[in-house]
Amino acid sequence: MTTWSNLNLQDSASPIMEQLIYFHDHTLMIITMILMIVSYMMISLSFNKYINRYMLEGQLIEVAWTIAPAIILIFIAIPSLRLLYLMDEINNPLITVKTIGHQWYWSYEYSDFNKIEFDSYMMPQDESINIFRLLDVDNRVTLPMNTFVRIIVTAADVLHSWTIPSLGVKADATPGRLNQMSFLINRPGLFYGQCSEICGANHSFMPIVIESITTNNFIK
């Protein structure tokens, strides 16, 4: 999870988030190279004394500064589209969990197991001594690791957004509509998230906690 003075992305806990981090680093490297080249050209232009008052056009340089950005965009677009389709792919999920956003808590339904339902409220501050303040809940979502999970997200009242940054998943919870996404957790642990759509006065007090455990413990 994010800690103090941490400017980087959270450590990945799913293959999708790992690919997102790779894509972020790839794009940031390209942007840094562009920034260095443009900065060098601007500084060199400001210090040299070569001018040509009669120059109206330069066909060669205009072709170059049209083709170069197109090539750079191709290097960004191809991995971006690949990752976009990879995130939308849902293949034979083993577990389906339904998430319903309320003002201001989340409720969950395990439809595969005789429809287990429970509500998840934020822990009060006076009880949060040995836990993370404003981030822990009374009922965590327990899911097995190394298992393909499908999340169906909706809302009962207003717009919400179900987000777990370390898993690379984010879906809008819209009243009257079902949004779905999938992920695979590749390590055990606790993964924290928060509602990412302003939904009212207590928007910042409806956290999300996923507890990843082994498959044997989950079955028990």
CATH at residue 53: 1.10.287.90
Joined together, the tokens standing for residue 207 give 């956290």
Give the pLDDT score at 100.
93
Report pLDDT digits (tens) over 62-93.
899 899 999 999 999 999 999 988 888 777 88
The whole-number mean pLDDT for each consecutive block of 10 residues of the chain, a chain of 220 residues, reads 76 88 94 94 87 79 90 93 85 88 91 83 74 84 89 91 91 90 89 89 90 85
CA R_g for the chain: 24
DSSP 106: E
Q: Provide the H-helix boundaries in 2-54.
A: 15-47
104 and 84 part of one domain: no
Q: What's the CA dihedral at 53, 57, 58, 63 to 10 degrees?
A: 150
Residue 82 belongs to domain spanning = 15-88
**Nearest residue to 16 (alpha-carbon basis) of 181, 212, 191, 189:** 181
82 and 119 part of one domain: no
Helix 59-88 / helix 15-47 crossing angle, nearest 10 deg: 160
Q: Is the peptide bond before 104 cis (omega within 30 degrees of 0)?
A: yes
84 and 99 part of one domain: no
Residue pair 105/121 in contact by the 8 Å Cβ criterion: yes
CA 5 to chain centre: 20
Residue finishing a domain among 55, 88, 121 = 88
Give the CATH number of the domain where residue 152 resides. Answer: 2.60.40.420
Give the pLDDT score at 209.
92
Q: Is residue 6 part of a domain?
A: no
143 and 38 part of one domain: no
